[in-house]
Structure 1
Amino acid sequence: MTAVPEWMRPPRLEGWFAEDLDHLPDAPRHTELIDGALVFMMSPQRSWHARTVTALVVALSEQAPAKIEVEREMTIRLDDRNRPEPDALVATAPYDPDRTFYTPDQVLLVVEVVSPESAHRDRNVKLRKYAEAGIANYWRVEDENGSPVVHAYELDAPTRSYVPTGIHRHELRTTTPFTIKLDLDGLVPGRRD
């Protein structure tokens, strides 16, 4: 039996806290904190997922107005016990080369590209947590026969819950959080027809 790596041992009885993620140098690259538990990507990622995330980050970056940042795989410190890592996010905070996370008040849009191992978290857990934290917009991107389909949500502030604003196939046009036009079918080069 292999010994458990030291970084997997919680530093206290209460488990992990958001600031602990910055002090786990040997942890896997994509480690997030959900309800005080470390969650990390152990299975290989599909090429479709990687290409979709890259294409979305590039397209959003090209269309973002000045002083709006688009980041890939950067955590959001929702509270002391939750620091998820979305596939992409759009934020108002200026670029900082030493940044390791954003706070909900700095985030305009969170994008999660669903993969088999993250499906429950992306469709349920993160949907609820991002809304409760007050993040205005959430996109969940699903693979539908090789084409990305965006399920868009907007925050209903009084209830701190998301309401669906649309399911976008082939093309996405929106003015929230800024004017965006995406050719969804053209996002993933080499996709199946």
Structure 2
Amino acid sequence: MSAEMITPAWMHRQITASEYESWSAEQCSGIEIVDGMVVVSPSASIRHNRLARVLANALDAAGGAEWNADTDFDVRLQDVPLNNRRPDVVVYRADAIDVVPIRPEHVLLVVEVVSPGSETTDRVVKVDQYARAGIGFYWRVEQAATGLPLVYTHVRDPASGNYRDGPVFTGEVRVAAPFAVEVDLTP
């Protein structure tokens, strides 16, 4: 049995932005679009989802009236070819809550929680894509074997368009930028 017989035809060709926008929320769940191609993400672990939720809640509370933080929705990085990423946490302008799709100019910070199978994408590919898109801050959460998550922070340098490494936190995050937030991620 060939792969074409098992997977839908749309998984073997580039998807346009207008085609993607016609899909249901259920069809868009658990996928990203990279260079127009559908990339299926495996289901996240309970620990992964908890880290994302705890971070989103803390960032949402700290962002005040100006910034919201949420999980599980697309950020449209590019229309042609279509590039939609679904960061684990997105901090976006509160006045853009009804904007669909959310675009980089609405986004202040994205967070990716690294899972088995997403290491290279989260550590290399997304770092470059988010920086090129102009998103100011990128955090990567590594689920260390010790059980204490490591949070790597990155700040976009406007001159180079690349991220500079910021502080690395073990378990507890305390930052002043992009706004003051403290969050304990210990299990």
State the secondary structure of the residue aligned to 2:119: helix
Q: Which residue of 2 is the match for residue 8 of structure 1?
A: 11
> Structure 1 unaligned runs (5+)?
186-190
Is the 8 Å Cα contact of residues 141 and 151 (structure 1) preserved in structure 2?
yes
Q: Which residue of 2 is the match for residue 128 of structure 1?
A: 128
Is the 8 Å Cα contact of residues 51 and 185 (structure 2) preserved in structure 1?
no
Q: CA deviation at 1:27?
A: 2.9
Q: Which residue of 1 is the match for residue 19 of structure 2?
A: 20
Q: CA deviation at 1:20?
A: 3.1
Aligned-partner Cα distance in 2 for 1:19–1:129: 21
Q: Does 1:172 align with 2:173?
A: yes
Aligned-partner Cα distance in 2 for 1:48–1:143: 9
State the secondary structure of the residue aligned to 1:117: coil
State the secondary structure of the residue aligned to 1:49: helix
Is the 8 Å Cα contact of residues 152 and 165 (structure 1) preserved in structure 2?
yes
State the TM-score, normalizing by the size of structure 2.
0.87
> Structure 2 unaligned runs (5+)?
none
Aligned-partner Cα distance in 2 for 1:154–1:136: 6
Question: How many residues are aligned here?
Answer: 180
Change (3 A) 1:146 1:19: farther
Question: Can you list the C-alpha shifts for 1:54-108, whole angstroms capped at 9, x where unaligned?
Answer: 11111112222113111211111111221111001101142545x5431111100
Q: Which residue of 2 is the match for residue 138 of structure 1?
A: 138
Q: Which residue of 2 is the match for residue 53 of structure 1?
A: 52
State the TM-score, normalizing by the size of structure 1.
0.84
State the secondary structure of the residue aligned to 1:16: coil
Cα RMSD between the aligned structures?
1.9
Change (3 A) 1:157 1:19: farther
* 1:82-93 superposed matches below 5 A: 82-93=83-94
Change (3 A) 1:152 1:52: same
Q: Which residue of 2 is the match for residue 112 of structure 1?
A: 112
Give every structure 1 segment of 4 or more consecutive aligned residues whose post-TM-superposition deviation is greater than 4 Å: none
Q: Which residue of 1 is the match for residue 155 of structure 2?
A: 154
Is the 8 Å Cα contact of residues 69 and 95 (structure 1) preserved in structure 2?
no
